[in-house]
């Protein structure tokens, strides 16, 4: 198995980091290939005019443009080379960290992860397993305001669904600001019970 491990939390002792490492330890065995991308320690430049070459198809004219195009190619190739992607996605102000958004912006490449057809967009990155560690300080899932205030899990499901990955598995730890130990214990119990099973076709 080739596994891509993504962390995006801005703190070293975050719940999402603890849980992504817990998952990777339980999913991998000797011989598996694991790449770890820490989007806080090694932040990716947010999209700007100099980094839009892969979207416009324009030939890079400057060294800065060539460097940005190379970075985009490196990130999308790394993603497409993985069988399983484990992503730490803490909720920051009802959405995901901007570092994680910057990574996703580099993956959304026409002809690589999706394409446009006469019937509309078609995802090209299907067949991969995506496990999202969703951590929240409060309680959102199952509450009346969940749909209105949760722009974290819904956004990630939309992005990966657009790329052809419909089955995004969520490992959720909520109420961390109220009961961190209990929330982490419940999330790890969920991981132990469900994430070692084979992925349904």
Beta carbons of 173 and 19 less than 8 angstroms apart: yes
- Flag whether 98 is marked binding: no
- Flag whether 145 is marked binding: no
Q: What is the pTM of this model?
A: 0.91
Query: What is the distance between the alpha carbons of residues 95 and 155, in angstroms, rounded to a whole number?
Result: 8
* pLDDT (tens digit per residue) in 83-127: 999 999 999 999 999 999 999 999 999 999 999 999 999 999 999
- Flag whether 94 is marked binding: yes
Residue 134: closest CA among 39, 10, 8: 8
- Flag whether 91 is marked binding: yes
What domains sit in the chain, N to C, each tagged with a CATH number?
Answer: 2-194 (3.40.50.360)
Contacts 24+ apart (CB under 8 A), 150-153: 150/91, 150/94, 151/94, 151/95, 151/96, 152/89, 152/91, 152/94, 152/95, 152/96, 153/89
- Flag whether 137 is marked binding: yes
- Flag whether 95 is marked binding: no
- Flag whether 114 is marked binding: no
* pLDDT (tens digit per residue) in 14-70: 999 999 999 999 999 999 999 999 999 999 999 988 888 776 555 667 888 888 989
- Flag whether 113 is marked binding: no
Beta carbons of 85 and 129 less than 8 angstroms apart: yes
- Flag whether 55 is marked binding: no
């Amino acid at each position: 198995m080739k596994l891509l491990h993504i962390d995006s939390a801005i703190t070293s002792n975050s719940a999402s980091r603890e849980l992504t490492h817990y998952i990777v330890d339980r999913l991998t065995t000797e011989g598996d290939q694991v790449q770890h991308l820490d989007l806080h320690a090694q932040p990716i430049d947010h999209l700007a005019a100099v980094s839009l070459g892969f979207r416009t198809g324009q030939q890079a004219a400057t060294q800065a443009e060539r460097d940005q195009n190379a970075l985009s190619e490196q990130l999308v190739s790394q993603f497409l080379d993985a069988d399983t992607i484990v992503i730490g996605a803490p909720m920051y102000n009802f959405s995901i960290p901007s570092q994680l958004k910057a990574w996703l912006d580099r993956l959304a490449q026409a002809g690589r992860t999706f394409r446009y057809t006469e019937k509309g967009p078609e995802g090209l990155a299907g067949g991969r397993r995506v496990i999202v560690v969703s951590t929240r300080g409060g309680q959102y899932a199952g509450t009346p305001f969940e749909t209105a205030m949760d722009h974290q899990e819904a956004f990630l499901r939309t992005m990966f669904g657009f790329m052809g990955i419909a089955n995004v598995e969520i490992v959720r730890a909520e109420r961390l600001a109220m009961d961190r130990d209990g929330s982490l214990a419940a999330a790890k119990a969920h991981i132990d019970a469900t994430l070692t099973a084979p992925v349904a076709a």
